[in-house]
Amino acid sequence: MRPTGRLHIGHYFGALANWVRLQSDPAYECFYFIADWHALTSDYADTSAVAENTLQIMIDYLAAGLDPAKSMIFQQSEIPEHAELHLLLSVVTPLGWLERVPTYREALENVKDKDLHNYGFLGYPVLQTADIVIYSKEGAPLYVPVGEDQVSHVEISREIVRRFNAFYGLEIEMDGLYQDERAMKLRWTVCTKMSVPLDSLGVHYPNLAANPSNLFTRCGEGIYVQRHWSGA
């Protein structure tokens, strides 16, 4: 998760609940981190909230059920090898691949309050690839528990890894993509419809830290806006 704000109910049903299930499965060795370097790709002009958001997201992780005894939980910038591998991967990644990522084009069209015309934002999938493959082990495929909005990033990660392997004779395996369709559909219903953020419609995402009564009220508003927008 990027520390660009507080985690909300969409994060829980779209990712965190699934992470909690995976950490209890002995078939997986889980690594979950707070992506503070990723936050800089869009919030580079004002980083004043990153440190506090990082702390609050860690609290949300623990409150949601992530257990340091069952999985590795850390802050991205505390592991400088993420940035080093990102650099190595970036030198073999064609710009055209990055410019064709659907979420990149959508962000340029829809985000008006930030200047996203920088390499950091364009190269987001390269850093994400480094975040994934840095934990690869010989003979152990990597599984990436992502939501629908991140599928295109994982696909380009596969291509970057194949190209890197071809140049340098390495064999980084990246065979799996773990998705929870039920969780993603619930997140979609509560938080957005047709790529229209609820914030733009006057409804704010309910934070995980909200009191229960406020949480249920906001969920009701989210479902109402979804139905209204779809014409139901």
Residue 39 has φ and ψ, to the nearest 5°, of -60, -35
Share of the chain above pLDDT 70, in %: 74
- Please give the pLDDT value at position 212: 63
Q: What is the model's pLDDT at position 207?
A: 77
> Would you say residue 119 has pLDDT above 70?
yes
pLDDT tens for 65-96 read 999 999 999 999 999 999 999 999 999 999 99
Rounded CA separation 42/121 (Å) = 6
The model's confidence at residue 143, banded by pLDDT at 50, 70 and 90, is confident
The lowest-confidence range among 32-36, 164-168, 201-205 is: 201-205
- Residues 26-50 have a mean pLDDT of 93
pLDDT for 43? 92
How much of the chain, in percent, has pLDDT values that exceed 90? 46
Mean pLDDT of 109-137: 91
Q: Are 177 and 143 in contact (CB under 8 A)?
A: yes
Which CATH number is correct for 9-229, 3.40.50.620, 3.40.50.10540, 3.50.50.60, 3.40.1190.20?
Answer: 3.40.50.620
pLDDT at 191: 41
Q: For residue 6, give the amino acid letter.
A: R
In whole angstroms, give the CA distance from residue 130 to residue 82. Answer: 6
Classify 193 as helix, strand or coil. strand
Residues pairing with 176 in the sheet: 143
State which amino acid sits at residue 148: E
Give the number of other Cβ atoms within 10 Å of residue 178's Cβ: 13
Residue pair 31/77 in contact by the 8 Å Cβ criterion: no
Top pLDDT among 97 and 178 is at 97
CA distances from 146 to 19, 90, 231 (A): 10, 22, 29
Q: For the CA atoms of 41, 47, 49, 51, what is the dihedral angle to 10 degrees?
A: 90
Structure tokens at 58: 């860690």
